[in-house]
Amino acid sequence: LEIVMTSRGESGLVGHSDESQVTDTELFLHVTVSSLFTETLTVDDVLEVIGFGKFQWKISLLTGLSWLGDAMEVMLLSILGPHLHCEWRLHSYEVALITSVVFVGMGIGSPIWGNVSDKYGRKIGLVMCMCWTLYYGLMSTFAPVYGWLLVLRGLVGVGVGGCPQAVTYYSEFLPVKARGMCVMLIAVFWAGGAVFEVLLALLVMPTLGWRWLLILSTSPVAIFVCFCFWLPESPRFDLLTGRREKAMATLARIAKDNGKVLPQGKISVYKQNDRGQIKDLFTPQYWRTTLLLWFIWFANAFSYYGIVLLTTEMLQAEDSSIQGAKIEPSCSLECKYLTSADYKDLLWTTLAEFPGIFVILLAVECIGRKKSMGLSFFMFSLFTLPLCACIGRTALTVFIFIARAFISGGYQAVFLYTPEVYPTENRALAMGAASMMARVGAVITPFVAQVLLRSSVPVTVLVYCCCAVLAGIASLILPIETLGRALQESHPGQEARGQTSSTTS
């Protein structure tokens, strides 16, 4: 092996400048080992040798910008609603509809962008959805009336529905050992986007108004669009479509940026199956995983966006109005602008994203993906339950902070788990379909957090608690644990027998 692998001469053997000096035994050994090496070389093998370096840091920054923009567009909804409620004299259900229409758009866009990413490329899908988001995000700032705002924000939602493809794209460039930590760390961009949106609103809303807030909230997406030309296509997708040379060129580029040398060998092109077919998510080895994950995504979005919307609603309510577990405005058109105190408390609860991410970051590597998701749901339910009681503003902020920390961390864990459990040929579609189910939960949650809340606080809180407990149970009974598991390149036959693939060493 030392003779073969450290070769430098034309003969491929150390110390042999003349091919005639190569013995039959040595030549046989060289051909045999080279043949074996070529057969077993995969993208994961190459990425393990190249490691995590300068290239991955750059791609982390760019994909993180798309994540940052997604978080800002979503966090914007909890700030925009109360303001338009006052400025345009909207009813509570009309305010809820502003939020819901964005998630309806996301639900429509998620499977579409997933299908585009599986058929035409990860880069193409991600860049197209970001350009769409930027265009309609800017257009919505000029909405003259409520109806136009609904249409334009719904179209923004269609574009934002493709943002989860950033995780699919990013994960396909990562070594196995670094994937869990890196995908969770990119979630820091989400947390940063949510915090930045609150700070931006605190500075912009009192002086420039909500239209300027909409414009400035598109800035991360605009930066991404300006620099997206640098992004390469995923080498896994190139191999899936038979473009071996392009995949090797991308891997060579990664190795050069990281200061490493590509391992010798030839990567085989994957079997080219039909891509982007929803029926493949329901094959015997995946149907149970798919159904459970769809409910988990639904519950995650329902709970996460619910606690975000509950924050502004409950902070706006006077302590006296929470007495008796009811929020009863004297008129459905009564409104109250968010104050500086409201923005500060909203900022504190938003900062919960950071500890939540770091707790789950440790959990996914220590106890696995499934148990981490289950832990997040159970802890969210536990710390949401006290909101039923008559508690002061400080206690309210603390409990919301802890509940949001756990549900935020759990949301990122499911973003990590989903692309790991599905094969390359359907990975983007699986993310898109799961994200669509999340948007269903997000569409429903404004009518619970902003409408049902005005009838009964305990009922509202119990709805969220029960949903989270069921999702925690669903997380624990998922059939596949992906900790330490290489990304699947095609449907593995061993999974049909309930086995999981081992990590390529």
3-class SS string, 167-208: HHHHHCCCCHHHHHHHHHHHHHHHHHHHHHHHHHHHHHCCCC
376 exposure class (CB count in 10 Å sphere: 0-12, 13-18, 19+): buried
Distances in Å between the Cα of 84 and the Cα atoms of 79, 236, 382, 427 are 9, 46, 33, 39
Range of weakest confidence among 67-76, 110-119, 232-241, 386-395? 386-395
Query: Cα separation of 439 and 161, whole Å?
Result: 8
Query: Cα separation of 105 and 127, whole Å?
Result: 18
Query: Cα separation of 302 and 99, whole Å?
Result: 12
> Taking Cα atoms as reference points, which of 406, 408, 394, 381 lies closest to residue 314?
394
455-470 pLDDT, tens digit per residue, is 888 888 899 999 999 9
Query: Cα separation of 78 and 118, whole Å?
Result: 33
Look at residue 371 and give its three-state secondary structure: helix
Query: Cα separation of 505 and 486, whole Å?
Result: 10
Structure tokens at 488: 């699947």
- pLDDT over 90 at 371, yes or no: yes
469-497 pLDDT, tens digit per residue, is 999 999 999 998 888 777 766 544 433 33
Structure tokens at 15: 């110390």
Residue bearing tokens 């909500």:
210
Structure tokens at 49: 């040798």
- pLDDT over 50 at 246, yes or no: yes
> Taking Cα atoms as reference points, which of 435, 505, 483, 502 lies closest to residue 180?
483
Query: Cα separation of 297 and 301, whole Å?
Result: 6
Given a contact cutoff of 8 angstroms between Cβ atoms, the answer to whether 62 and 231 are in contact is: yes
Element (H, E) at 321: helix 319-322
Q: Could you give phi then psi for residue 5, rounded to 5 degrees?
A: -75, -20
Query: Cα separation of 502 and 500, whole Å?
Result: 6
Query: Cα separation of 459 and 451, whole Å?
Result: 12
Top-confidence residue, 431 or 153: 153
Query: Cα separation of 108 and 96, whole Å?
Result: 19
Q: 134 falls in which pLDDT band (50, 70, 90)?
A: very high
Where in the chain are all domains bearing CATH 1.20.1250.20? 44-493
- Could you tell me which residues come within 8 angstroms of residue 476 by beta carbon, excluding any fewer than 6 positions away? 370, 371, 374
- Could you tell me which residues come within 8 angstroms of residue 144 by beta carbon, excluding any fewer than 6 positions away? none
Which amino acid does the sequence have at 244?
A: R
Given a contact cutoff of 8 angstroms between Cβ atoms, the answer to whether 138 and 218 are in contact is: yes
When the pLDDT of each residue in the chain is averaged and rounded to a whole number, the result is 79
Angle between helices 92-120 and 427-446 (to 10 degrees): 180
Select, from the ranges 38-47, 58-67, 385-394, the one with the highest average predicted confidence (pLDDT): 58-67
The correct CATH number of 44-493 out of 3.50.50.60, 1.10.1740.110, 1.10.645.10, 1.20.1250.20 is: 1.20.1250.20
What is the value of pTM for the model shown? 0.70
> Could you tell me what percent of the chain has a pLDDT over 70?
81
Given a contact cutoff of 8 angstroms between Cβ atoms, the answer to whether 453 and 310 are in contact is: yes
Given a contact cutoff of 8 angstroms between Cβ atoms, the answer to whether 178 and 52 are in contact is: yes
> Taking Cα atoms as reference points, which of 198, 52, 70, 209 lies closest to residue 130?
70
Range of weakest confidence among 65-79, 270-284, 295-309? 270-284
Query: Cα separation of 74 and 196, whole Å?
Result: 12
- Phi/psi class of residue 467: alpha, beta or left (left: φ > 0; alpha: ψ in -120 to 50)? alpha
Mean pLDDT on 403-427? 86
